[in-house]
Structure 1
Amino acid sequence: MDTKQLLMIGVSMLASAAAGPALGQEKQEQYIQVAEIEIDPSQLDAYRTAVKEHIEMAIRVEPGVLTLYAVSDKDDPTKVKVFEFYRDGEAYRRHLESGHFKRYKAATQSMVRSLKLIRTDAIALGTKAR
């Protein structure tokens, strides 16, 4: 190996070492929660439309909203879970104050029979591109 190759390897190793702790800290600062929601069966279609529009808007306009997934129980579609990932707690607070979130809450208030928010810690997260 010549000096240039050794220098490139050294720079690469240094960059990886410096980025490692920063990436770990970023993950620790993320605000992650699961919302468990029970929907009035007679309003299920309207709720699905509202949550889909809300998620699309939040992902599009809020840089601190990293991931929002809404899923329903296959055997009981009135039981919905929303997996929420925010850059940090401040991003979550900004999300709650956004106009589109407030519109979503007002529009779905009569549709929601129960809501439970569960704060979580990431253990292992993985995503594969389609």
Structure 2
Amino acid sequence: MRREPVVRMAELEIDPHMLEAYRVLLTEEIEASVALEDGVISLSAVSIRDNPNRIRILEVYADQQAYEAHLQTPHFLKYKTATAGMVTSLTLIEVDPIAMRAKP
């Protein structure tokens, strides 16, 4: 059975007064996820240059099981709890990979 990767994009808007605190928590969560979870292939977060409180995250997981496991990790649950009052809008978008490459 072939494992299909799960690729998602998250579009978030953050309360501008809480942006720096949010960025710290997001960075901690991404670093922990990539370091501790074999099923997390990559997590990349960027902000819109002219609207830095608009964050985009590209998430790549080995498969659906890896994605579901990620949602239950202590570091992800800490992030969700700590940032709940900071996020003013969240849209999760299911996407299909076309070409995804990275250097080792």
TM bin, normalised by shorter chain, reads: over 0.9
Instruction: Number of aligned residue pairs: give it.
Output: 104
The alpha carbon displacement at 1:127 in A equals: 2.7
Partner of 1:107: 82
Aligned ranges for residues 32-43 of structure 1 at < 5 Å? 32-43=7-18
Task: Provide structure 2 residue ranges, at least 5 long, that are not aligned to the other structure.
Answer: none
Distance (Å, rounded) in 1 between the aligned partners of 2:100 and 2:68: 23
Distance (Å, rounded) in 1 between the aligned partners of 2:100 and 2:41: 13
Q: 4+ residue stretches of structure 1 with deviation over 6 A?
A: none
Q: Return the structure number with greater helix share.
A: 1
Is 1:56 aligned to residue 31 of structure 2? Answer: yes
Is 1:82 aligned to residue 63 of structure 2? Answer: no
Percent of aligned positions that are identical:
44
Q: Return the structure number with greater strand share.
A: 2
Max radius of gyration: which structure? 1
Query: Relative CO higher for 1 or 2, CA cutoff 8 Å, sep ≥ 6?
Result: 2
Distance (Å, rounded) in 2 between the aligned partners of 1:42 and 1:59: 28
Picking from 72, 84, 88, the partner of 1:97 is 72
Distance (Å, rounded) in 1 between the aligned partners of 2:78 and 2:103: 32
The alpha carbon displacement at 1:126 in A equals: 2.7
Superposed CA RMSD: 1.3
- Give the TM-score, by structure 2 length: 0.95
